[in-house]
Amino acid sequence: MRRERPQSFADYTPLFFPGLMLVVFFVVPFSTMIAVSFFRRDPTGFYTRDFVFDNYARFLSTFFGGVLGFSLLLAIGVAICCVLIAFPFTYLLTQRPRRVQTLWLVGLLSVLSLSEVIIGFAWSTLLSRTAGITNLFVWLGLMEAPVALLPSVWAVLIGMVYQALPYTILVLYPALIRLDPTLLEAARTLGASPVRAFLNVVTPALRNTLVATVIMVFVFALGSYLLPQILGRPQHWTLSVLITDQAIYQSNMPFAAAMAVFLVLISLALVGLTLMIGRRENAT
């Protein structure tokens, strides 16, 4: 179906409301943040209006560079783990009867009702030496003595994957349930085993969805700042933790703003790069 282009001014009116919301809740705060990132910090008070690059310059140190790199790697790790777990899981879920699917989805949705704090403390208990799952392994005879699995980068990763997994499944579910089941059957009649058919028919057919999901989880994981503090050591703290620290505890708003802007730019660049790679592969 061909759509007509908007002709008169009145045709644009439906755009006013979303436009207004976008300006009030995105453009204004974001511009403010960018502006503040160029202000000069006033150690005695808050900040003074100015136009300096000090805040950005300070960021370009090995320490902050390392934190940024770690944050990005962690987010990418979480995104990949989530999709690797959620994709086969959701696929198998869509093969079940409707009622089973509903039960699982309701269960997953209920995980979303848990706050980050609860998730963090639940995992810190589960991974602890005194009450954690290693006690179970000892009881089963798999281990000699219980050990503490945290604080560690793996604990952070597990907590964040747990938090992001329901979102991943809920994003993948509509695409998988709409996938034409005869595609898989066709592959089977052509001699492909079910696993092979899944790998070279379902996966490529949903590549764009998978890329979009990886990006979504990546962005979601980038904003996490409680779990790294609860489950990790200070060297596992992400940039989000440092931003919070600067903004709230050090009262250094300009520097926090500069870091935030930097984080946004880097994430946008990564997302753009992913999309570009996806498009190039599509073209071939």
Region label for 141, one of left (φ > 0), alpha (ψ between -120 and 50) or beta (otherwise): left
Q: How far is the CB of 240 from other proteins (least distance, A)?
A: 37
Q: Would you give the distance in Å from CA 31 to the centre of its chain? A: 24
Task: Please pick, from the candidates 40, 129, 207, 279, the single residue that binds other proteins as defined by CB under 8 A.
Answer: 207
Query: CA 221, 227, 228, 233: dihedral to nearest 10 degrees?
Result: -160
Q: Does 253 bind other proteins (CB under 8 A)?
A: no
DSSP conformation class of 2: P
Q: Does 196 bind other proteins (CB under 8 A)?
A: yes
In angstroms, how far is the first alpha carbon of the chain from the final one? 27
Q: Does 188 bind other proteins (CB under 8 A)?
A: yes
Choice between 106 and 190, CB closer to other proteins: 190
> Which letter, b or e, does each residue of 211-247 get, where b requires 16 or more Cβ atoms within 10 Å of its Cβ?
bbbbbbbbebbbebbbbbbbbbeeebbbbbbbbbebb
Choice between 48 and 193, CB closer to other proteins: 193
Q: Please report the DSSP string for 18-34 in residue order.
A: HHHHHIIIIIHHHHHHH
Task: Please pick, from the candidates 43, 141, 191, 234, the single residue that binds other proteins as defined by CB under 8 A.
Answer: 191
Q: Does 205 bind other proteins (CB under 8 A)?
A: yes
DSSP conformation class of 66: H
Task: Please pick, from the candidates 28, 65, 185, 265, the single residue that binds other proteins as defined by CB under 8 A.
Answer: 185
Contacts (CB under 8 A) with other proteins, residues 155-184: 180, 182-183
Choice between 62 and 182, CB closer to other proteins: 182
Q: Does 95 bind other proteins (CB under 8 A)?
A: no
Q: Which residues bind other proteins (CB under 8 A)?
A: 180, 182-183, 185-194, 196, 201, 204-205, 207
